[in-house]
Structure formats: C-alpha cells, structure tokens
Amino acid sequence: MAIRQDLIGPTATAIYHATADTAVTAIHLCNITSADATVNIYVLPSDGSTWTVTENNKIYNTLTIKATDTYIIDTEKLILASGDKIFMDCPDSSGSVIATISTIGL
C-alpha cells in the first residue's frame, strides 16, 4: 500500500501517476480552511486518447467540501493501468484542500 499527499491548487495538476497496474482504495479530501472549497477530479488514461485535462475526463465535478470538513471517496475502487493519471483542481475556491490517495499494486 502506498500513500500520496498533495495540496490541490487552482490549476489542474497530476497528483497521482500510476507506474504499474494499481487500485486506488481511497481518496481523502481535507479542507484545511474556514471557507468552503470546490474540487474537480479527472482521470486521464495512458492509451494516448488524450494528453490534456478536459471536461470529458471528469469523474467529480464541482464537489463542494465544507469548511474544515473531509470528504472520503472509498465506496468503489478505481483501477488504473500503468501510465494512467489522476488530476485535481480547486477552481474559484477560497478553501485549501489536501488530497490523500491510498493505492495498492495489482
């Protein structure tokens, strides 16, 4: 199992890059401020179909995380092939969110 943490900024940034076939077991999104935060989450496949984050890659759209709250994504596992990437951003948000991703190799 591996853990990765990043502060999510206003620009879509790769916060996880699978270097082997991997299962994402949980994603914790912790708003560390006293203002609500909005988060977008994207998944880009390594199949060469796209190299840029677009609306077509979103798996969560304008997810609101209340001030000082944490949102946990753990109901379904996200299976990534080697080279697949997870991107996140906090557009138009005055909140700051720390993303923690838990993974396990397949």
How much is the pLDDT for 59? Answer: 95
- Cβ atoms 27, 72 nearer than 8 A: yes
* Whether residue 1 has pLDDT greater than 70: no
Contacts of 46 (CB under 8 A, 6+ apart): 18, 81, 82, 83, 84, 85
Full set of structural domains in the chain with CATH: 2-105 (2.60.120.340)
Per-residue pLDDT reduced to its tens digit, 30-65: 999 999 999 999 999 987 776 789 899 999 999 999
The alpha carbon of residue 58 and the mean position of all alpha carbons in its chain are separated, in whole angstroms, by 10
